[in-house]
Chain A
Amino acid sequence: MKKNRVRSTVLLAIFLTTSAMITSFAFTGCETTNEIKIAVAGPYTGSVAAFGEMIKRGAELKAKEINTAGGVNGKTLTLIFEDDAGKDKEASLVAERIASNRQILAVVGHFNSACSLAGKPIYKRAGIVELSPGSTNVNVAAGSDWTFRNIYRDDFQAAFAAKYIKNILGDIQKVAVFFDNDDYGSGLKDSFTAEAKELGLEIVGIEAYDRDNTDFKAQLTSIKAKQPDLIFLSGLYSQAGLIASQAREVGIAAQLFGADGVDSPDFLEIAGDAAEGTYVTTPFVFRLDDPKAQKMATAFEEMHGVAPDTWAALTYDAVGMIVEAIEKGGENRKAIRDHLASITSPEKGYDGITGLTYFDENGDCTKPAYVKIVEDGQFVPAAEQMLGID
């Protein structure tokens, strides 16, 4: 009897020590690490994967710089990349996964407007910041205290594009709009057509396309019959690239003008010669006389072997903003939001490479737009910019 009790005590002791060891091991595995985790959600696969690639690279560069400089409050910054494939359905799943992982303190993303919109209610419910470096749809940030963006809204971008076409391109009267039938493309189309009509441009045709489609000749044939002077491409670079080349094939000579969704080096690759002379609006240009941007571009090329694009730059800044919020606000989800929400004036703004970012009550920000043009197979800042026109 006594022997039995001794044996069971020994067994119990062994059991307790082992379980203690296991738990402590498990705890070192996740709780007490010296890590700060933030998620970067974007389209790493799918038809707009080139955006995702640049977003990833931009975030990686910022994380590397932060970690080399001593990390966040002395802790290592770890990025968790989550792929939404540029689709809203995938984005909801990704958002649920991120929100339920308590170690993740904030989200940089999503990129596509439809994805940010899909993630918004989930992040709001879970109470985690969503800071988008690329979603421009008007409704993205409104209605949630947890969603922010460091880029302009489409109503601003569309008005800017329409004014540029009217005031600077000159002798453009008839405009056709070809839009991607999703939140980004159709929202931008609505804003653009409203503004263009107000400026006295004639909208001769509005055609839609579906993101999965790669044959646009039927719509382009309709557009051709309306004889527009300019076609406004309200969509993303991959389809826009094909539209450019197919437009030339069906015999359309009109000027092409895209919005920031077209601003990707892959547009040039897909469109080939047809890209030449295309204008795009964009939230950022790497200017030679901008030392901060040039420094980032050099470091980026050193790390990744290619030049950065607009989206790499905006993601770079978004990661920087989140890190600043962690350092100044605190290492929890709520503190990050409160800090971001307190950035309401230019004086408090985050001074990144893409300019000063500060938010209004929705979480939107006021940032300038620029115009690029394709010359000799390269995107270059257009000779005439339109800064100061609001």
Chain B
Amino acid sequence: MAQFLEQIINGLVLGGIYALIAVGYTMVYGIIQLINFAHGEIFMFGAYFAFLCVTTFGLSFWVALPLSMAMCAVMGMLIDFVAYRPLRNAPRLSALITAIGMSLVLQNLAREIWGARWRKFPVEATPTVLTGNAIPLPGGAQVSFLDVFIILLAVGLMIGLNRLIHLTKIGKAMRACAQNRVAASLMGIDTNRVITVTFAIGSALGAVAGVMVGLREVTEPAMGYYKGVAAFAAAVLGGIGNITGAMLGGVVLGVAEALGAGYVSSGYRLAIAYIIMILVIIFRPSGLLGKSTATRA
């Protein structure tokens, strides 16, 4: 029982991280129907930015986190400006290929700058709140402060994002663009601005996930690929284009991975998660919460 509870928590932490990345994929897809493969690399740069802030510049973790979010937001906007905006009216395949190219360029850039070595977030720089002893749970299980923090942070950010989309003017504009970009622009919405903001928000959330993975696991140039693919799968599982779906997809995938590794076969932990994804897609091609709209393409 204790083990089961701990595995669920492991899954929720992973799920929270996947969800934070997945909303970045899904928001961009919702508005410009582009699978932004460079998003995984933004996540990786987020981890590196925070790592550099605390090591090279000696900043506190609580400064490094928002700073890394801001830097990634700028980076996301720049990528859109440089790589995607010129192709806005080109066939979708061109933009997709550009996204894959961008991902490779960024990954190799990181390897060039920081080397292939794994970087562990320095213990001294980790806030003492997060390194604290494990919290005991009923039934002999335990959970680390960091894992609790990651779950809470992910939930908080998801609620915040949900409120932003539904209560603010820019959120309304984003929803309008997602429904029909041409019509939205005819109604006087500056669609380019909306797209820029979408990239900024998605990238900032990706950066949070990057910092969390850097803190909990490790920072390295290929991390964006591995976690990025899983998060993309989570976005598809939840119904690509649907933000709540991405959150749900992330959690389902994370928990499936943890339980699969814990109870079925550890060598196939990702395979198990992907089999679940494939099964869902077979029976619900538009994902858990996606609406089937034939006119999207």
Evaluate contact between B6 and A250: CB separation under 8 angstroms.
yes
Give the distance to chain A from B125, nearest Cβ to Cβ, in Å: 12
Residue pairs across A and B with Cβ atoms less than 8 A apart, 13 shown, are: A44-B116, A45-B111, A45-B116, A214-B217, A215-B10, A217-B258, A218-B257, A219-B262, A221-B7, A241-B118, A242-B217, A245-B120, A266-B118
Evaluate contact between A221 and B120: CB separation under 8 angstroms.
no
- Residues on A with C-beta less than 8 A from B187 are none
**B226 contacts chain A at the CB level, 8 A cutoff:** yes
Give the distance to chain B from A49, nearest Cβ to Cβ, in Å: 4
Interface of A is mostly: helix
The contact of A181 among B13, B134, B213, B267, by CB within 8 Å, is: B267
Evaluate contact between A208 and B267: CB separation under 8 angstroms.
yes
Evaluate contact between B120 and A270: CB separation under 8 angstroms.
yes
Evaluate contact between B10 and A217: CB separation under 8 angstroms.
yes
**B67 contacts chain A at the CB level, 8 A cutoff:** no
- Residues on A with C-beta less than 8 A from B116 are 44-47, 49
Evaluate contact between A212 and B269: CB separation under 8 angstroms.
no
Evaluate contact between B117 and A222: CB separation under 8 angstroms.
no
**B127 contacts chain A at the CB level, 8 A cutoff:** no
Give the distance to chain A from B171, nearest Cβ to Cβ, in Å: 32
- Which residues 8-55 in A have Cβ within 8 Å of B in the complex? 44-47, 49-50
**A354 contacts chain B at the CB level, 8 A cutoff:** no
Give the distance to chain B from A267, nearest Cβ to Cβ, in Å: 10
Bin the interface of chain A by size.
35 or more
- Residues on A with C-beta less than 8 A from B11 are 218
- Which residues 153-192 in A have Cβ within 8 Å of B in the complex? 181
**B161 contacts chain A at the CB level, 8 A cutoff:** no
The contact of B3 among A181, A215, A225, by CB within 8 Å, is: A225
Q: Which B-chain residue is minimally distant from A214 (CB atoms)?
A: B217
The answer to whether residues A218 and B10 also contact, given A225-B3, A270-B120 and a CB cut-off of 8 A, is yes
In the complex, what distance in Å separates the CA atom of A209 from the CA atom of B115? 24
**B162 contacts chain A at the CB level, 8 A cutoff:** no
The contact of B117 among A214, A217, A266, by CB within 8 Å, is: A266
**B144 contacts chain A at the CB level, 8 A cutoff:** yes
Q: Which B-chain residue is minimally distant from A181 (CB atoms)?
A: B267
Evaluate contact between B266 and A215: CB separation under 8 angstroms.
no
Evaluate contact between B266 and A50: CB separation under 8 angstroms.
no
**B14 contacts chain A at the CB level, 8 A cutoff:** yes
**B33 contacts chain A at the CB level, 8 A cutoff:** no
